């Protein structure tokens, strides 16, 4: 499958958006009120790309507005966007108040890889999720064989991973590689979450009875 060429408006943010993952946004800057207004009117995609100190990352994800939650008298909007397709920026255009870019939509290899890796990843995720959220993960709602909702993206979006780790996953084009990489990331994250949980329990235990 060849990469698809496209020109889209860009929304630089301090987040990493994945395909099939929702993103709530509060739109308040005039240039982005204009950009999102056009996207809604034309039912057109825009690109969410992670901002950095000296510019933007080259790989991002297209998004579409799936719900307008609230509009304000001054034109601000609360919306929910949905991630669609990863892209790589080929050229940035600065002809408007907001950035645009010529991008290539990136083809993906959806093969899941070894079942052993997927099983280990699911177990690691469930442990991390329980420590973060204090309850069991509803993994039955996260199928690991849906090419439209890559499993690694579903899991990563539910955990407090660093933005660099999320960007690494977005830039990998094979689902089998993403699952292996995410498993390694969760092996690093898990002991940190265990320490935080122990400290939280210790603090709660020491705190009772104090005036």
Burial degree of 73 (CB within 10 A; 0-12, 13-18, 19+): exposed
In sequence order, which residues have a C-beta less than 8 Å from that of residue 138 and are 6 or more positions away? none
Q: How high does pLDDT run on average in the chain?
A: 93
Instruction: Say which CATH superfamily domain 4-105 falls into.
Output: LON domain-like (2.30.130.40)
- What is the per-residue pLDDT across 96-142, written as a single tens digit (0 to 9) for each? 999 999 999 999 999 999 999 999 999 999 999 999 999 999 888 88
Q: Which residue carries 């825009």 as its tokens?
A: 46
Q: How does pLDDT run across 2-54, given as a tens digit for each residue?
A: 567 899 999 999 999 999 999 999 999 999 999 999 999 999 999 999 999 88
* Confidence grade of residue 204 (pLDDT, cut at 50, 70, 90): low
What's the pLDDT score for residue 210? 40
User: Would you give the distance in Å from CA 82 to the centre of its chain?
Assistant: 10
Q: How far apart are CA 166 and CA 45, in angstroms?
A: 22
What is the spatial distance between Cα 17 and Cα 14, in angstroms, rounded to a whole number?
10
In the chain, CATH 2.30.130.40 sits at 4-105
Which tens digit of pLDDT belongs to each residue from 75-94? 899 999 999 999 999 999 99
């Amino acid at each position: 499958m060849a990469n698809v060429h496209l020109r889209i408006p860009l929304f630089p943010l301090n987040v990493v958006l994945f395909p099939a993952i929702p993103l709530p946004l509060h739109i308040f800057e005039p240039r982005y009120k204009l950009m999102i207004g056009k996207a809604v009117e034309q039912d057109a995609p825009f690109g969410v790309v992670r901002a950095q100190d000296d510019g933007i990352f080259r790989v991002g994800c297209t998004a579409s507005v799936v719900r307008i939650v609230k509009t304000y008298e001054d034109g601000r909007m609360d919306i929910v966007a949905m991630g669609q397709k990863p892209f790589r920026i080929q050229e940035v255009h600065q002809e408007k108040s907001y950035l645009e870019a010529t991008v290539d939509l990136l083809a993906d290899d959806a093969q899941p890889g070894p079942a052993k890796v997927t099983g280990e990843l699911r177990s690691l995720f469930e442990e991390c999720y329980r420590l973060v959220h204090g309850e069991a993960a509803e993994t039955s709602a996260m199928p690991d064989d849906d090419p439209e909702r890559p499993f690694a993206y579903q899991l990563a979006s539910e955990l407090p991973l660093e933005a660099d780790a999320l960007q690494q996953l977005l830039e990998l084009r094979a689902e089998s590689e993403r699952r292996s990489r995410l498993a390694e990331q969760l092996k690093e994250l898990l002991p940190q979450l265990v320490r935080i949980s122990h400290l939280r329990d210790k603090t709660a235990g020491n705190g009772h009875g104090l005036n």
